Amino acid sequence: MIGRLILKSIAAVTFVSIGIVVLAVIVVIGYFFVALAFPNRMSVIGRVTDSGGRPIKGVEVRAVPLPIHDAYSEAGTMEAQGKEHTAFTDDDGCFRLKRIIASGGVKEGMWLQEYNIMVTAEGYRPQIIRVRNDYDRHKDVIMPGDFVLEEKDAAEKEGSKLVGLFGEASQTKK
């Protein structure tokens, strides 16, 4: 009778131990799938001014994803995971690119998504800044600072070229 009780106790402890191990495996696998399906996101906020420090309203700001460098893939790079985002500056020259993909994966399989933040405005030279969030210091908001746009000279404004299917042609403003 005591032998049977000991066997039942051992069986119960074994089943509970197996259940705990199975539950732990399910949690770990679930974490991997959640990390892959729902990557970390970030917002990029900033301000666009002219060389005199005055805010510029209505400027287009785009976040263009770059190919991902992944040391663990055979090719060494992966396709960009994010999509292109666009925002426009408000009256104070401020913009906010919301919830763009920052990184994904887990541990050694983690990847970072870099973006070129491109600022273009009529009559100004475009400006590009590269933005990336770090693995260990992930931030929800990235602030690259002010984008200071310089005006194009008269020669740049008048001598722009149009490129089409049949080559290029000069265009001058009147």
- In the predicted model, is pLDDT for residue 152 greater than 70? yes
Reported as a pLDDT band with limits 50, 70 and 90, residue 30 is confident
Residues 33/39, Cβ–Cβ less than 8 Å = no
pLDDT in tens, 78-97: 677 778 999 999 999 999 99
The answer to whether 17 touches 108, Cβ cutoff 8 Å, is no
Among the listed residues 140, 117, 151, 124, the one whose alpha carbon sits nearest the alpha carbon of residue 47: 117
CA quadruple 138, 134, 30, 21: dihedral sign = negative
For 113, the token pair is 């998504």
Summarised one tens digit per residue, pLDDT across range 44-72 is 999 999 989 999 999 999 999 888 766 66
Q: How far is residue 34 from each of residues 27, 37, 79, 110, 146, measured CA to CA in Å?
A: 10, 5, 20, 13, 35
**pLDDT for the residue numbered 162:** 45
**169 confidence band (pLDDT: 50, 70, 90):** very low
